[in-house]
Amino acid sequence: MQKAVAVFDKALPNLRTYRDVFEHMDSYVFEDDKRHNKHIGLGGLQVGTLSNDTFSWAIDDTEISFKEAAIASSKLYHDIKAIRDKIKVNAA
């Protein structure tokens, strides 16, 4: 399973950072000293672009293709499902 997650993380390298920022937005808006990514502050939150195909954010200069994200997510789901199914068969 670690290999499947590593492939996913490589396809979407900053997803963990994005999730953390969105989950703790108030910490980043108020630049709380306890936030995980201290290099991200209020100014960085205000600069980004969104289109029908991509999302980019000034905090990391990475552009995420929604199509590539969907493909990576689907692959991760199917890889984990295959691992689960294999474990179920071996346990039976």
Chain segment 10-30, per-residue pLDDT in tens: 999 888 888 898 899 999 999
Model confidence at 78: pLDDT above 90: yes
Q: Over range 42-70, report the average pLDDT.
A: 87
8 Å CB contact between 87 and 30 = no
Q: Is the pTM of this model over 0.75?
A: no
Model confidence at 92: pLDDT above 80: no
pLDDT at 77: 97
Return the axis-axis angle of helices 2-11 and 66-91, rounded to nearest 10°. Answer: 180
Residue whose C-alpha is closest to residue 8's, from 79, 56, 87: 79
Average pLDDT score over the chain: 89
Residue whose C-alpha is closest to residue 74's, from 25, 6, 8: 8
8 Å CB contact between 32 and 18 = no
